[in-house]
Structure 1
Amino acid sequence: MSLAISDGLRDRLSSWLDHERALKSASEHTITAYARDVSGWLSFLAGHEGGTFGVAQIARLRITDMRAWMAHERSRGVAPRSLARSLSAVKTFTRWLAERDGFDPTAILSTRSPKFQKKLPRPLSPDAARDMLSTVEMQHDEPWIAARDVAVVTLLYGCGLRISEALSLTGNALPLGEVIRIVGKGDKERIVPVLPAARRAVAEYVRLCPYEMTPDAPLFRGKRGGALNPRLIAKVTEAARMQLGLPASVTPHAMRHSFATHLLNAGGDLRAIQELLGHASLSTTQAYTAVDGARLLEVYDAAHPRAKKA
């Protein structure tokens, strides 16, 4: 990291990344993004302030310095969404640093994130979801690989799993029962019901898979027996949706969105769906579902009877 920053600040940045990796269970992808975002911020400030930049200089930053950095990023063509992500990483690092070095981080933490229009997920219709499951099976000539792809996508749609959660399953989960224990983001555990269709899909894959299903080994294997790369599921999903003429928004994660939306449309309770998806906030669950306005009002009235009396 060739930044004009002090050794002390460099060590603190490294310690913070270790903290996020070990205690916050951040993925390596997240750690890489954090390091890039915060390093870019420090690099700008070192040039902006002149001389070696350290913790003392961070403690003296003003809101105008933060605005100068954001203006610089925008001038480089950084999109508002990406800048908001970088600012979030900067704030997380600064909050951690301030707790250890005893300075007031208000100027940095009060910096407003750039506004951007959030892209709401686009779930599939029930018919399209069923078509996807049947079409995914046709994307590979090797029977066990075709069965594997179907099993993974069925878990995404039938159980609302994240792709990372499905691929983190090991042979210890076999045979799948009526429920499965999932360890999601932040090492939070939840119990998820497993539909008969998902159990059948996984059982068929296990029957055909040429590799031994030992308790500690990955459940879903790549062609050579190693852990399955999530990119392969993205590719097979892309091939299936193109064959069906579905939009580019149909991704593995869209199957999870569809799970939530279809449950809600069928009368599912919003908070129960929140638990199934492993969302920390109910607002996140709302964003991951797409239902008509009348259905949302029904859910609201059922959850808040007083609203009927207003």
Structure 2
Amino acid sequence: MTEPPLAAVLPAAPDLAAAVSAWLRHLAAERRMSAHTVEAYGRDARQFLAFLADRFGAPPSVADFMTCAPADLRGFLARRRAEGIEGRSLQRALSALRSLARSIGRDSGATASALGAIRAPKAARRLPRPLDPLDARAVTTTEPRAGEARDPWVLARDAAVLALCYGAGLRISEALALKRSDAPVGAVDAVTVVGKGRKTRSAPVIAPVRKAVEAYLALCPYTLAADGPLFVGAKGGPLSPRIVQLAMERMRGALGLPDSATPHALRHSFATHLLGRGGDLRTIQELLGHASLSTTQVYTGVDSARLLAAYKSAHPRA
């Protein structure tokens, strides 16, 4: 991971700036956290150190950080809450600070008792917002974008990526990480993907999704190397996730879908629709690559909400 010289950008004394830099490198290289998570943790630490610098009137040192009082942490969390930051982000910030304290403690033997005394803020449980099955199927085709002045192969490519998100429950990153040799075409009815935490899983690919990938490959103007990316951009390089997100935005406009209709919402739709058709949680957990069943259980709330809405709209006494 490349990063700026933190000593120059962190509101911290040199010893703490160096400790933060070493911690972030450890998260990226040894803990193998995603670049997005490392960036978020670094941002959380920077915001807290800026708060301490303002509170103490000087950039905090390692000793200042490790001996800060519970009141300092509560004040920081209260300020962030007042700025409109939600509970889930505050939980992550507290987790980041605890991780930094553990990293410093491994080298110095010191402990940050205040971090252990603070309870994590509660986060509102937000249910995923799946698409209607008809809408989910529509965005995995080229028809809604037929009027766009774009090459047919580009439309077929975007449809194939979105088909993998809905039909196989893949994240965008997982779909775009597939190599040409991994392409689910012909008799190949599954793909092996590496998800969060570098956890490998096999995702079954149904016939309509295979046909979408085959249609893209038949139109793609580039010769794709077996060990190169399956999905390529306009110039033949790796396809950016942002391009897929923009394609979904155009789909939203064509189909009149809400802003919550994102590529990741197709993954939520995959799980919710499976559950609604009788799929069991353990199977859905494996298909999604969730490490914990509790992560998958959120979809029971989605399906219950859908059933309750249908009941209220249809029952004569509702």
Instruction: Please indicate the TM-score interval, normalised by the length of the shorter structure.
Output: 0.7 to 0.9
Cα distance, 1:79–1:286 mapped onto 2, change above 3 Å: closer
Match of 1:206 in 2: 217
Task: Determine which of 293, 301, 304 is the counterpart of 1:292.
Answer: 304
Match of 1:30 in 2: 37
Match of 1:170 in 2: 179
One-letter identity of the residue aligned with 1:5:
A
> Which deviations, in whole Å up to 9, do the C-alpha atoms of 1:28-79 show, x marking residues without a partner?
2322222221011112213323445222222212211111222333444544
Q: RMSD across aligned C-alpha pairs, in angstroms?
A: 2.3
Deviates most, 149-158 or 113-122: 113-122
For the 8 Å contact 2:140–2:160, the answer to whether it is kept is: no
> What is the distance in 2 between the residues matched to 1:123 and 1:63?
40
One-letter identity of the residue aligned with 1:173:
D
> What is the distance in 1 between the residues matched to 2:285 and 2:149?
34
Cα distance, 1:172–1:108 mapped onto 2, change above 3 Å: same
2:194 is the counterpart of 1:183 = yes
- Count of equivalent residues: 296
3-state DSSP class of the match of 1:291? helix
2:160 is the counterpart of 1:148 = no
For the 8 Å contact 1:59–1:104, the answer to whether it is kept is: yes
Q: What TM-score, normalized to structure 2?
A: 0.85
**Runs of 5+ in structure 1 lacking a partner?**
297-310
Q: Alpha-carbon deviation of 1:149?
A: 0.6
Deviates most, 194-203 or 102-111: 102-111
3-state DSSP class of the match of 1:31? helix
Match of 1:120 in 2: 127
> What is the distance in 2 between the residues matched to 1:78 and 1:273?
31
Task: Determine which of 244, 248, 253 is the counterpart of 1:242.
Answer: 253
Q: Alpha-carbon deviation of 1:3?
A: 3.5
3-state DSSP class of the match of 2:140? helix
> What is the distance in 1 between the residues matched to 2:305 and 2:155?
39
One-letter identity of the residue aligned with 2:195:
G
Q: What TM-score, normalized to structure 1?
A: 0.87
Cα distance, 1:243–1:23 mapped onto 2, change above 3 Å: same
For the 8 Å contact 1:4–1:52, the answer to whether it is kept is: yes
**Runs of 5+ in structure 2 lacking a partner?**
1-7, 309-318
> What is the distance in 2 between the residues matched to 1:186 and 1:43?
30
> What is the distance in 1 between the residues matched to 2:84 and 2:133?
39
Q: Alpha-carbon deviation of 1:173?
A: 0.9
3-state DSSP class of the match of 1:192? strand
Cα distance, 1:86–1:206 mapped onto 2, change above 3 Å: same
Deviates most, 167-176 or 131-140: 131-140
> What is the distance in 2 between the residues matched to 1:49 and 1:174?
57
Q: Alpha-carbon deviation of 1:140?
A: 5.5
> What is the distance in 2 between the residues matched to 1:117 and 1:252?
23
One-letter identity of the residue aligned with 1:162:
R
For the 8 Å contact 2:275–2:299, the answer to whether it is kept is: no
2:222 is the counterpart of 1:215 = no
